[in-house]
Amino acid sequence: METIKPYASVTPQRSAQDLRNEALQMIQKMRQPTAAISFADNSSIINAAQKPQEFSSTLSNLINSVNAKQQSAVSAQQEYETGEGKVSLTDAVLTTQQASMQFQLLASVRNKAISAYKEIMSMPV
């Protein structure tokens, strides 16, 4: 992945046109689709490089990913509490926090979908 350099000032060696061209190149790079949105456990939720999916299948993948993470968090907590597994307190807490973040993302997507639906339904025909 290429790093973006901070915007430089005009110097005698660099004209304003050069800086403008550089800024346009940076904007074009930012507009390119990212490869994927993923969580720390590398579970990809949305992959922009793949063929476009229907919203329902994307939402279904998100729900399944959140469910799997919630189950792994519960499992890690139980293994830590019983001492059966080799799960440390840090791993159990980290897994729980990751599951919480994914759930918050899911709730946010749900809330946005509901507000969009309400807005569409309130439009005059």
Whole-prediction pTM: 0.54
Question: pLDDT digit string (tens) for 67-104?
Answer: 999 999 999 999 999 988 888 999 999 999 999 999 99
Provide the token pair at 25. 């190149």
Distance CA 22, CA 43 (A): 35
At residue 44, what are phi and psi to the nearest 5 degrees?
-75, 130
